[in-house]
Amino acid sequence: MRLLKVATCNLNNWAMDFDCNMKNIQVSISKAKEAGAMIRLGPELEITGYGCEDHFLELDTVSHAWECLKELLLGDWTDDILCSFGMPVIKGSERYNCQILCLNRKILMIRPKIWLANDGNYRELRWFTAWKQRCLEDFQLPSDVSEALTQTVVPFGYGYIQFSDTAVAAEVCEELFVPSPPHGELALNGVEVFMNASGSHHQLRKLDLRMRAFVSATHTRGGVYIYSNLQGCDGGRLYFDGCSCVVVNGDLVAQGSQFSLKDVEMVFAEIDLDVVASLRTSTSSFQEQASCKPKVSAVIVPYKLCKSFNLRRSLSSPLKIRYHSPEEEISLGPACWLWDYLRRSGASGFLLPLSGGADSSSVAAIVGSMCQLVVKEIANGDEQVKADAMRIGHYTDGQLPVDSKEFARRIFYTVFMGSENSSEATKYRAKLLADEVGSWHLNINIDGVVSSMISLFQTLTGKRPRYKVDGGSNIENLGLQNIQARVRMVLAFMLASLLPWVHNKPGFYLVLGSSNVDEALRGYLTKYDCSSADINPIGSISKTDLRTFLRWAATHLGYSSLAEIEAAPPTAELEPIRSNYSQLDEVDMGMTYDELSVYGRMRKIFRCGPVSMFKNLCYKWGTILTPKEVGDKVKHFFKYYSINRHKMTVLTPSYHAESYSPEDNRFDLRQFLYNVKWPYQFRKIDELVDELNGDHVAITKSTCQETDTVDGDGGGMGVVAAGAGNPKAGL
């Protein structure tokens, strides 16, 4: 027997926070060593964080990655354990997304990514070059790394490592999913262990696609497939959903969590590699293809990874794959994303305009789910979650969160902003849900503010607008609705910034949005109303899924009022209620939420223009609608989709959960959540300043005079103060 213990992990790393990432990496290696693992695999680009985006174009990012790798190699972290680290590497004039395979304080091989993810949420070709050579080349290490490691040149490219007792290769994320994945060819060359470092995001109902790929990779050709993934919000819209796992000959033998608040979660497996050899040598077609395989380059390392037969070592057995229902995914994914955002943003909590409708109630339930997860993890002994919760909730004298409702009251404000158009039913439902979740709740009336604005308009113009039901035009009707919607957001931000002060709490609260993906697709929202919050946990979730979630959460989260909320017809309550008229969302939109989901998927996922959509819907709806009715519906959708597309440019950053999300995020591709202290980078600056001071670098008077005359204003570089000439700069 050739017994091999492997370790993989879910890491909650943060783009550009090298201190955070190094801590998580080192903890994972320590845990792997304690368990006796001989291989430790981490996620893709784990040293820098995956979501650096345009920061990858900065040389600093690559330099800091090498500095961190050097620190890992100079310590005892890689002693007697094969470690694969993800980071960017520049070779010549090209930047590559690489896995650095290290053992015993040496770099064995640098494996650049061959096939880059470049669709949907991924733009790797913007930052990296794909490695196209079928060989290994010499790579000259940076001089400071070379001097520290006494290593000058290392193999770089496509290949594998041949140890004394097995062969190991890397396959990076997207490469698993291409039509001709590298693991097929590598298996024919004798590779038994595949390490896939990944940065894969959560999307509703997506995990089974990933798991099927792991199983199929080794089902017929044999092998051990080790998968590592990021987990958490690393600074953008995506939530990386972990699920690191180990698959042997098509059987899952170890699986990590998909949603978790942990910064480091380890997954271990003990494997007998002889089962791989047995499967391959008993399959005639495999042997025939292996006998005439294209040869792949190898790095020979005379080192044994495996142990011999030992009854004290327990082999991992096949497991049933664990999946969450879509309702559980909505409850857990956005909740974990919100927790990461809250603890890393410096905020003291959330404020939600709670209308008593399905969307805002879904957001309240998700925050409640987050509070339940926090209390549960604290009870399970997670010290990091406890420290973050105590800091955010301002616990003193040894107190800590032990009840989710009590914790919610400390970090969650909800406010019902009613008007003359609001019903008592929605007001009651909002208060009831707030009590169930535990939020600090306010009931306020905005009629006075709205009336003041209308009176100001009348003073300026001599005209007073009326609602449509009172004889006004469509323009008047829409204008009066927009006033209410925008007043609510102004009040929400005022309360979020000042309520902590009122309650003698430090900090500020983040305003949560509650527009769903279907309303964004249709443009059924007002610019700078409740769609313009700080972040939106449901902005990429369909109304249909949210209503299913509400029914589930009424029972499973313990918020029974959600059942009544889900049953109520959706309404904005921006127009007066009359005996013969009540405003309804689907009537206003001219289409149902179910129809919107169909339009969205055809537009984005199946890439249909109006004509293609019409043709497809004729097949789909032809038994209940005439072609003209189908055509009218398609034209109606594209009309309002087009005229409201501009609203996407100001849409609140939303948790990504649906593949037909219309959110606009095109140009400055940097994350929107930073560690504002920049601890690693600022410390490096301080060190450089100290070095310069130590060298007694002096700037002569003549040099200063020369610099002062570079431009006419004496500013040297001509830098303009932030906000100068732009009244909105810095807002």
Would the CA dihedral through 517, 521, 524, 525 be positive or negative? positive
C-alpha count within 13 angstroms, C-beta hemisphere, residue 284: 0
Please give the torsion angle defined by the CA atoms of residues 621, 624, 626 and 632, in that order, rounded to the nearest 10 degrees: -60
Of 635, 680, 675, the C-alpha closest to 60 is 680
- List, in sequence order, every residue forming a beta bridge with 7; answer none if it has no partner: 40, 268
Under DSSP, is residue 167 helix (H, G, I), strand (E, B) or coil? Answer: strand
For residue 171, the 8-state DSSP code is -
| Packing angle, helices 593-604 and 610-621, rounded to 10 | 130
The set of residues, in sequence order, having a beta carbon less than 8 Å from that of 159 and lying 6+ positions away, is: 109, 111, 135, 136, 169, 296, 297, 298, 299
3-class state of residue 678 by DSSP? coil
Query: How far is residue 452 from each of residues 246, 457, 526, 529, measured CA to CA in Å?
Result: 64, 9, 20, 18
Query: How many CB atoms sit inside 10 A of residue 21's CB?
Result: 27
Segments of 526-680 assigned E as strands: none
**Beta-strand relationship, 94-103 and 106-112:** antiparallel
106 classed as catalytic? no
Can you point out the beta strands (E) in 296-450? Answer: 298-300, 349-353, 412-418, 440-445
Alpha helices (H) along 380-416: 383-393, 404-411
Catalytic residue among 44, 124, 270, 519: 44
Catalytically annotated residue among 173, 243, 245, 336:
173
Residues with Cβ within 8 Å of 424's Cβ and at least 6 positions away in sequence, in order, are none
The per-residue DSSP string of 105-152 comes to: TEEEEEEE-SS---STT--HHHH------SSEEEEEPPHHHHHHHT--
Q: Can 113 be counted among the known catalytic residues?
A: yes
Distant-in-sequence, close-in-space partners of 685: CB < 8 Å, separation ≥ 6 = none
- Please identify which of the residues 5, 20, 53, 113 carries the catalytic annotation: 113
Nearest to 18 by CA among 41, 44, 45: 45
How many whole angstroms separate alpha carbon 547 and alpha carbon 557? 15
Q: How far apart are the C-alpha atoms of 579 and 518, rounded to whole Å?
A: 29
CA geometry: angle 438, 443, 444, nearest 5 deg: 150
Q: What whole-number distance in Å separates Cα of residue 73 and Cα of residue 68?
A: 9
Spell out the residues 6+ positions from residue 315 whose beta carbon is closer than 8 angstroms to its own.
Answer: 3, 270, 271, 272
Residue 277 to residues 186, 195, 224, 266, 630, Cα–Cα distance (Å): 14, 18, 11, 27, 58
Give the H or E element holding residue 555: helix 543-556
Note if 44 is an active site residue: yes
Q: Active-site residue among 355, 531, 540, 654?
A: 355
Residue with tokens 């950053």: 653
Per the annotation, the verdict on 306 as an active-site residue is no
Question: Cα separation of 7 and 474, whole Å?
Answer: 63
Instruction: Point out the residues that are catalytic.
Output: 44, 113, 173, 355
